[in-house]
């Protein structure tokens, strides 16, 4: 295992490190040594997580031995001197957004040589093994767990009491990397509760893994037994951290929730009175619950009386206003503490009452009063009101439900929004932590990110990617096929011409891009608007099919649902359609800031290209967005002249740019991946917007003035990417040799009287024809398959013969640019270049297709009146019988070449190959009025139907890039 000395620290890395990985680890160690905060951006696929773990743990190891063998709860007298020393060393807290991301980090830790004592903190939903409580969710599950752990009855939890003894008898627990699943298995096999076992272990670990909310949420943070001074806090996938911090410090109180809380308070009064009167139980005072109810009723009435002149603007006041309103209800810092105690009693009383019924013996109850407690803790978290300057009070009316109409009540939402994410992050500065490292694949633009969090980040890095230049295509498409500009702004998005051009562009891109295509819209509104239009509009006057039907002809569509519960089903549907070999992949229509753009891995075939259809600016009139802009502008005006501040307009624009960066980050997911990024909006051509893109993308971005240039270069990129793929390199020369053999035979036999042999074949001998063919032929489908077993089972190749396994299907195509293996080794799938119009099958009465002749390694398509009339299935490699082929060939060639063609068909196996190849590439070459061969045009009008001669082809001929 290679060892790198970085800033005096020996870092053991599992592989030979790339330069950008060494730079990344150097920045991590610099941050730790200097006790400075760091913003580190490194694209997905550069080994960011592995570098972060190796660098951090190498630095920690240099300070002293890891705490291996040390058990939780051990007294100092029982510990060795090395264990005492390790207890004074800094703790590393590694956080990410979700449990699934934490699971991936633990897998990366297993790949390193470092074995610190570690544990993963998870929620009860992931860790609980109680047969009944594990079926619950959220606060209901938490309340049920607390109830069963406190009670010592027949219904108490048997796993909780076993935790202490098990941890004591297993001091090596956590010395090897363990994940949530490992903790659950230990609990099921040995009995201790995995949730409380992780809580016990985290007190003595060197590195702790947890989701964000364990640090950001004040309640969760207080539950951690961590020595915060000099500790290291790592936030991985931190691109959304500012929003998470602001949301954690804010709250929304809908009228419906307040009404439910009032009802629960009344229930507490009734239950307490019943217990006092019937059981003489005075443990709960009904008067306290009556006071709570009265205060909530007064709050409800006060919110309903707030004047709202404009439904769009709502009611807005400075953050201090909330204290004025609550003071009218006699709710202050002093009384808030008593209210919180009453709410705790109410939650316990409702929980106990729910256990008295047989149907809910072990089920928890949802107590909405707990939300009121959380709100009071946010408002009165400090003795003073200084933090209120970062807030705004907002009251808005919302659409009422049918039951609200019957009750004749207005539905309102009372909000206290925090517009300074630094409110949450400043808590760590007060605890004197050593370093805070924020890292992600998309932190750009960094200035606004640092300004939002109100922390100093002296160490910053925007890493390049480890991929080569030929693995990424990034282009700005300012106009559609007909020349209409792309601009998804509010003024233009409803234009029929805009939606028509965007639809036709996606049709063409669906033909070019192999396998998976991701299309991101700025909003759900625009996504639904365009799809509805495409389903009811044809792309041109010459084509009766709708745009949506033409998209479906090339790729099966999936649309991102608004409901989170439906999203897993959409992902499964997308992956299933990608595996469908009867069509050229699938297209996922999604939105920026949606689930598709956040954290999902669309590696390889799952995401060969990303189309961004516009800049995802937030709704201008959204109350939260409007107030955020006003807040930043006021902050900027109050700052001293010359200081760096973030204005509302800058924040607004940079938030949109970060959402774009996050979406396009789906396309390149590892070192050997390749893909394209297509910006379909003329505003991306502006230098400002390009400067906001991630640094690793910027060198690749090119603006194209003509849509035909986009089609041509993008087609060439995917063809070259397949050829240059490391796993395909050894087949390239074989493919080129096969092509040259067919071209040689065909050109020599077609017209001996012309000077073709002296010019064209001379270039073949010089091996330059391979370059020319590569300039013309695109690759429309990747060689890689999702299920190699299925693919291999669909073909049977023996003694150069290909047996038929599947019938011919409609809308299938042949790819002449595929890296082809010898027939005796494999039979690869073949698909057509993007500019080949997909043909329908011939009449059913036609003779059945026959197996290819022994000497033939290429599939063919039958021809009729100069056009290819049937299409091969990608996995079958079937061809017409010789008799049928001869008959149709005689219909498409000129009288001057018919005799030569006939000769080629009958003069042996080698001549047959030339004819077969002629059939394959007939669509690539046409003869002009003078009988001169001309390349079919690679540029497009707004219609994607078939080849035609045109200026782009002539330019190729003129420049010597075509035959």
SS3 883: helix
Contact (CB, 8 A) for 684 and 678: no
Q: Say which DSSP state 206 is in.
A: S
What pLDDT, on the 0 to 100 scale, is given for residue 534?
93
In the structure, how many helices (H) and strands (E) does the chain have?
36, 28
The full 3-state SS of 169-201, as one line of letters, equals HCCCCCCCCCCHHHHHHHHHHHCCCHHHHHHHH
Angle, alpha carbons 282-284-288 (nearest 5°): 125
| Cα-based distances in Å from 62 to 58, 254, 308 | 6, 53, 62
Q: Helical H runs in 683-726?
A: 687-691, 707-724
Beta bridge partners of 401: none
Q: Name all contacts of 322-329 with Cβ < 8 Å and 24+ positions apart.
A: 322/379, 322/388, 322/391, 322/393, 322/416, 323/379, 323/385, 323/388, 325/393, 326/299, 326/379, 328/302, 329/295, 329/298, 329/299, 329/302
Task: Give mean pLDDT, residues 652-677.
Answer: 87
Please give the mean pLDDT across all residues of the chain.
74
Domains 1-67+88-116+206-249+420-466 and 472-618+658-724 share a fold: yes
Domain regions of the chain by residue span = 1-67+88-116+206-249+420-466, 250-355+366-419, 472-618+658-724
At 133, list the tokens: 């409580």
Q: Helical H runs in 306-332?
A: 321-328
Task: Name which of 182, 631, 162, 583 is nearest 390 in CA terms.
Answer: 631
Tally of CB atoms within 10 A around 796: 12
Sheet strands (E) in 163-242: 207-211, 232-235
Taken as a whole, the chain contains a residue count of 963
pLDDT in tens, 345-371: 888 888 777 766 544 444 445 678 889
What pLDDT, on the 0 to 100 scale, is given for residue 590?
92
What pLDDT, on the 0 to 100 scale, is given for residue 326?
93
How does strand 933-935 pair with strand 925-927?
Answer: antiparallel
Q: Is the peptide bond before 599 cis (omega within 30 degrees of 0)?
A: no
pLDDT in tens, 726-769: 543 333 333 333 343 444 444 434 443 333 333 333 332 333 33
CATH code at 1-67+88-116+206-249+420-466 = 3.40.50.300
Nearest-Å Rg of the Cα atoms of the chain is 34
* CB burial string 741-777: b at 16+ within 10 A, e below: bbbbbbbbbbbeeeebeeebbeebeeeebbebbbbbb
Q: What's the CA gap between 829 and 841, in Å, rounded? A: 19
Task: Give mean pLDDT, residues 33-50.
Answer: 90
pLDDT in tens, 919-931: 443 433 444 444 4
Task: Give mean pLDDT, residues 848-874.
Answer: 34
Task: Give mean pLDDT, residues 579-607.
Answer: 84
- Please provide the distance, in angstroms rounded to a whole number, between the alpha carbons at the two ends of the chain: 52
pLDDT at 406 over 60: no
Q: Looking up tokens 């986009």, which residue turns up?
A: 710
Q: pLDDT tier at 72 (50, 70, 90 boundaries)?
A: low
Phi-psi region of 137 (alpha: psi -120 to 50; beta: other; left: phi over 0): beta
Q: What's the CA gap between 43 and 441, in Å, rounded? A: 4
The fourth-level CATH superfamily of domain 472-618+658-724 is P-loop containing nucleotide triphosphate hydrolases (3.40.50.300)
Q: Which DSSP helix (H) or strand (E) runs through 95?
A: strand 92-96
Name the phi and psi angles at 678, rounded to 5: -120, 115
Contact (CB, 8 A) for 941 and 711: no
What pLDDT, on the 0 to 100 scale, is given for residue 87?
63
pLDDT in tens, 634-646: 888 877 655 677 8
**Higher-confidence residue: 936 or 577?**
577
pLDDT in tens, 436-495: 999 988 887 788 788 888 888 999 999 888 888 888 899 999 999 988 999 998 888 888
Task: Give mean pLDDT, residues 531-558.
Answer: 86
């Amino acid at each position: 295992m290679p060892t790198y000395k970085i800033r005096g620290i020996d870092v053991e890395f599992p592989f030979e490190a790339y330069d950008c990985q060494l730079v990344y680890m150097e920045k991590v160690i610099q941050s730790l040594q200097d006790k400075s905060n760091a913003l580190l951006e490194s694209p997905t696929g550069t080994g960011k997580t592995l570098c972060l773990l190796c660098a951090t743990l190498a630095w920690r190891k240099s300070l002293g031995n890891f705490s291996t063998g040390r058990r939780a709860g051990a007294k100092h007298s029982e510990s060795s001197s090395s264990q005492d020393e390790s207890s004074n060393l800094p703790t590393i807290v590694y956080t990410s957004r979700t449990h699934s991301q934490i699971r991936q980090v633990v897998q990366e830790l297993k790949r390193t040589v470092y074995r610190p004592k570690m544990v993963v903190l998870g929620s009860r939903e992931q860790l609980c093994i109680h047969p009944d409580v594990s079926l619950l969710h959220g606060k209901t599950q938490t309340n049920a767990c607390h109830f069963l752990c406190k009670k010592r009855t027949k219904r108490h939890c048997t796993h909780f009491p076993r935790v202490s003894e098990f941890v004591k008898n297993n001091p090596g627990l956590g010395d090897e990397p363990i994940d949530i699943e490992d903790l659950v298995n230990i609990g099921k096999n040995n009995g201790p509760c995995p949730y409380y076992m992780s809580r016990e272990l985290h007190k003595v670990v060197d590195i702790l893994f947890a989701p964000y909310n364990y640090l950001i949420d004040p309640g969760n943070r207080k539950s951690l037994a961590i020595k915060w001074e000099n500790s290291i806090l790592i936030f991985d996938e931190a691109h959304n951290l500012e929003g998470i911090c602001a949301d954690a410090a804010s709250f929304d109180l809908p009228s419906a929730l307040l009404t439910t809380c009032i009802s629960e308070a009344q229930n507490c009064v009734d239950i307490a009175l019943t217990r006092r009167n019937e059981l003489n139980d005075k443990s709960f005072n009904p008067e306290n619950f009556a006071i709570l109810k009265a205060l909530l009723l007064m709050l409800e009435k006060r919110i309903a009386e707030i004047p709202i002149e404009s439904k769009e603007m709502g009611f807005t006041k400075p953050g201090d206003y909330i204290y004025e309103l609550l003071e009218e209800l006699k709710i202050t810092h002093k009384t808030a503490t008593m209210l919180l105690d009453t709410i705790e009693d109410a939650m316990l009383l409702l929980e106990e009452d729910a256990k008295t019924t047989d149907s809910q013996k072990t089920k928890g109850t949802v107590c909405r009063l707990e939300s009121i407690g959380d709100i009071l803790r946010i408002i009165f978290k400090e003795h003073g009101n200084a933090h209120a300057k970062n807030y705004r009070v907002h009251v808005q009316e919302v659409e009422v439900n049918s039951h609200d109409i019957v009750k004749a009540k207005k539905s309102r939402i009372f909000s206290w929004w925090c517009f300074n994410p630094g409110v949450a992050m400043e808590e760590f500065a007060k605890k004197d932590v050593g370093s805070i490292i924020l890292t992600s694949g998309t932190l750009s633009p960094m200035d606004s990110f640092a300004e939002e969090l109100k922390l100093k980040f002296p160490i910053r890095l925007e890493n390049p990617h480890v991929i080569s230049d030929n693995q990424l295509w990034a282009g700005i498409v300012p106009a559609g096929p007909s020349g209409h500009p792309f601009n998804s702004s509010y003024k233009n998005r409803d234009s029929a011409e805009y939606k028509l051009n965007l639809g036709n562009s996606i049709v063409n891109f669906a033909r070019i891009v192999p396998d998976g295509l991701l299309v991101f819209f700025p909003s759900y509104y625009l996504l639904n608007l365009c799809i509805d239009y495409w389903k009811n509009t044809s792309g041109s006057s010459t084509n009766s099919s709708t745009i949506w039907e033409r998209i479906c002809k090339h790729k099966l569509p999936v649309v991102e649902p608004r409901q989170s519960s439906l999203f897993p089903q959409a992902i499964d549907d997308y992956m299933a359609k990608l595996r469908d070999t009867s069509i050229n992949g699938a297209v996922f229509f999604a939105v920026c800031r949606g689930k598709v753009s956040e954290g999902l891995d669309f590696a390889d075939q799952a995401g060969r290209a990303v189309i961004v259809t516009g800049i995802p600016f937030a709704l201008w009139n959204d109350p939260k967005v409007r107030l955020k802009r006003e807040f930043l502008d006021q902050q900027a005006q109050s700052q001293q002249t010359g200081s760096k501040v973030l204005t509302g307009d800058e924040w607004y624009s940079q938030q949109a740019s970060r959402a774009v960066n996050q979406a396009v980050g789906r396309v390149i997911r590892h070192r050997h991946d390749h893909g394209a990024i297509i910006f379909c909006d003329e505003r991306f051509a502006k230098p400002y917007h390009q400067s906001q893109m991630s640094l690793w993308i910027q060198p690749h971005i090119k603006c194209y003035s003509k849509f035909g240039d986009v089609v041509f270069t993008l087609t060439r990129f995917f063809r070259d990417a397949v050829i240059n793929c490391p796993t395909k390199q050894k087949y390239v020369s074989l493919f080129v040799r096969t092509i040259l053999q067919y071209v040689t035979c065909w050109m020599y036999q077609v017209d001996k009287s012309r000077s073709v042999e002296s010019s064209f074949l001379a270039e073949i001998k010089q091996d330059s024809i391979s370059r020319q063919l590569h300039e013309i032929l695109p690759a429309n489908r990747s060689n890689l398959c999702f299920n190699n077993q299925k693919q291999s089972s669909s073909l049977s190749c023996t003694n150069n013969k290909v047996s038929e396994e599947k019938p011919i299907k409609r809308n299938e195509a042949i790819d002449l640019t595929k890296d082809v293996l010898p027939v005796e080794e494999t039979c690869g799938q073949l698909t057509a270049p993007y500019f080949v119009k997909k043909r329908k099958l011939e009449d059913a009465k036609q003779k059945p297709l026959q197996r290819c002749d022994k000497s033939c390694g290429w599939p063919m398509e039958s021809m009729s009146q100069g056009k290819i009339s049937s299409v091969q299935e990608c996995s079958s490699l079937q061809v017409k019988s010789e008799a049928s082929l001869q008959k149709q060939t005689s219909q498409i060639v000129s009288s001057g070449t018919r005799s030569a063609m006939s000769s080629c068909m009958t003069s042996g196996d080698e001549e047959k190959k030339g004819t077969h190849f002629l059939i394959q590439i007939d669509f690539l070459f046409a003869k002009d009025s003078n009988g001169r061969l001309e390349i079919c045009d690679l540029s497009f009008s707004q219609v994607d139907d078939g080849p035609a001669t045109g200026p782009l082809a002539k330019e190729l001929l003129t420049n010597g890039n075509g035959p």
